Structure 1
Amino acid sequence: MTPTASLSLQAMKFAISYSTASLGLDPDRMVVYAQHAEACGFEALYMPEHIALYRGAMLGSMELPTDLAVVDPLDALGFVAAATSRILLGTGVLLVPYQHPVVLAKRLATVDVLSRGRMRLLTVGLGSLPGEATAVGVDFRTRGRRADEAIDVLRLLWSGGAEGVSFHGEFFDVDDLCIFPKPHDATTLPIHVGGSSRAAARRAGRRGDGYFPGGMLTPEERVAQLELARSEAAAAGRDPAALEYTRWSSIAMTRERAETLAAEGVTRVVVNVTSTDPTEQQDEMSALAQRFGLTEV
């Protein structure tokens, strides 16, 4: 291992995902899962979002079951926050074009304040199901532009004072608007951008605090998208080096695999448990924590 790779690996952060669609809706089980992840030293707990499903909804080549139980991630993360004390809260991804940014700004700030500053790994995406957009009255073809405006409105509302802020865009229009409370000891919340397209990489560079691409990309496309995100950040007058780079990985990943990811510029990995048994899930978390020296668990 080269000295550069060693330093990068030491700085890498590890997070874990919880999906009610695969792990269930039992609130006690969710709390125990989050508490063990926190005890193991995982940086964050991520939760996904689907607002609504319908017959024929396809994720790639797979049809999604219509009875797939996906909870609202912000409500669920707020619930988890009440039972934990350190673990950060993340979304992977929140479908920002389908949310009104005024309402979303209030909800996110509320979770952040009540968790004492832990709503800090918000990752937003566009969504890939046309019927989901139709269900909430959004033109699927406009979701990219809506997302861009929503991100701008969120940041504007969080940073604004008692005198109010105004925004006049294609989709959102507010005058002298005030949103309180603000995020905990901050004037904004970090916003990471998720997706598997070059448009997502450009959005991350122009507006995001990080980029979280999907899992089904070739190595060459990953390199191209990261370079694109960084070049867009520079063109927008932002620091490309400050852009965090998050990737999915296996909970059984080896140190060699982690070193490879670190060499590719990855700053954070998010993993999923593979077992459906709660005890075995905890064993998987503990094994990763011990392998990478997160804690003494």
Structure 2
Amino acid sequence: MKFAINYSTPFYGVDPDRLAGYARHAEECGFEALYIPEHIVLYPGAMVGPMPLPPALPFADPLDCLSFVAAATSRILLGTAVLLLPYHHPVVLAKRLATIDVLSRGRMRRLTVGLGTLPGEAAAVGVDFGSRGRRADEAIDVLRLLWAGGEEGVSFHGEFFAFDNACSFPKPYGGGTLPVHIGGSSRAAARRAGRRGDGYFPGGALTPDERARQLDLARSAAAGAGRDPDALEYTRWGSIDMPPERVEAFAAQGVTRIVVAATADDPAEQHDQMSVFAERFGLTMTPR
């Protein structure tokens, strides 16, 4: 089992010392990766399910934050949970992600993308809310095409994006393409993970039966697309105080990675929570 940590800018704030300290301590504790969420814009009345999102929540740009984290750390992998893919142009995004990966020496490896649930957010960036699933599918294809393309250029002609003989450099660190994990809590997200994703990271508000159905759906979709279902990583949210028995139950469900977050408000208490978690599960801690 791999363990990662989330840093929620809307609740922890965007203070650079706090973010850098959190990331460095997570790295010292042995967490595999640090994840940061995204909302591009909010508005009065925005809701995620039954939960209101106050419009003044400071959702910082996750990729800019991860660039900052990369400069403040040396080993921890960089992730998003989730990047709202339909609201980014994939030609620009391919460049940004590859640049972070090169500058971090190959650590931009936990990209998780989703569709977004706020119609007003889609409208603010000029994206038709109803087409965002198709747009995301196409964007994943564009990202991988650009990362894999050479000096001769690559061309693409789809419903949303089109270009001819495009060359995108630098390439991800070490060559190849970056992993793209799929986030979401729907069966459509599970199918997308199987057909196009390197992993599936479902949300938290699902029944155990629905979780099992979605994982089966992701794996069957992978097989149907000629991909290896066993290569699909399965990431889940956990809690910083979860006991070993809960982790064992996750492992029995096929989970390969658990992402937790500190719950304390005070940075020192957050660091203590991470340290206790690392000791509980025997993470490799770096001596001070």
Pick the TM interval, shorter chain.
Answer: over 0.9
**Residue of 4, 7, 10 corresponding to 1:21:** 10
**Residue of 116, 119, 135 corresponding to 2:105:** 116
d(CA) in 1 for partners of 2:194, 2:241: 31
Match of 2:236 in 1: 247
d(CA) in 2 for partners of 1:14, 1:74: 21
Match of 2:41 in 1: 52
Mark the runs of 5 or more structure 1 residues left unpaired by the alignment.
1-11
Q: Aligned-pair distance for 1:109?
A: 0.3
What is the correspondence of 1:163-182 to structure 2 with a 5 Å cutoff?
163-182=152-171
What is the correspondence of 1:262-281 to structure 2 with a 5 Å cutoff?
262-281=251-270
Contact 2:28/2:285 (CA < 8 Å) preserved in 1?
no
d(CA) in 2 for partners of 1:54, 1:278: 29
Name the SS for the 1:78 alignment partner: helix
What is the aligned length?
A: 286
TM-score by length of 2: 0.98
Q: Aligned-pair distance for 1:296?
A: 4.4
Residues 1:94 and 2:83 aligned together: yes
**Residue of 202, 205, 221 corresponding to 1:232:** 221
Residues 1:287 and 2:276 aligned together: yes
Same amino acid, percent of matched pairs: 74
d(CA) in 1 for partners of 2:284, 2:218: 33
**Residue of 129, 132, 136 corresponding to 1:140:** 129
Report the AA paired with residue 277 of structure 2: L
Report the AA paired with residue 51 of structure 1: I
What is the CA RMSD across the aligned residues, in angstroms? 0.7
Report the AA paired with residue 187 of structure 1: G
**Residue of 203, 228, 232 corresponding to 1:214:** 203
d(CA) in 2 for partners of 1:112, 1:236: 28
**Residue of 19, 26, 35 corresponding to 1:30:** 19
**Residue of 69, 73, 83 corresponding to 2:72:** 83
d(CA) in 2 for partners of 1:252, 1:84: 25
Contact 2:192/2:218 (CA < 8 Å) preserved in 1?
yes
Match of 1:154 in 2: 143
Distance 1:106 1:198, change over 3 A: same
194-203 vs 63-72, which deviates more?
Answer: 63-72
d(CA) in 2 for partners of 1:294, 1:256: 16
After TM superposition, the runs of 4+ consecutive aligned structure 1 residues lying more than 2 A away are none
d(CA) in 2 for partners of 1:136, 1:100: 11
d(CA) in 1 for partners of 2:131, 2:182: 17
Please give the per-residue CA displacement for 1:195-250, whole angstroms capped at 9, x wherever unaligned: 00000000000000000000000000000000000000000000000000000000
Please give the per-residue CA displacement for 1:9-66, whole angstroms capped at 9, x wherever unaligned: xxx0000000111111110011010000000000000000000011111111122101
Match of 2:212 in 1: 223
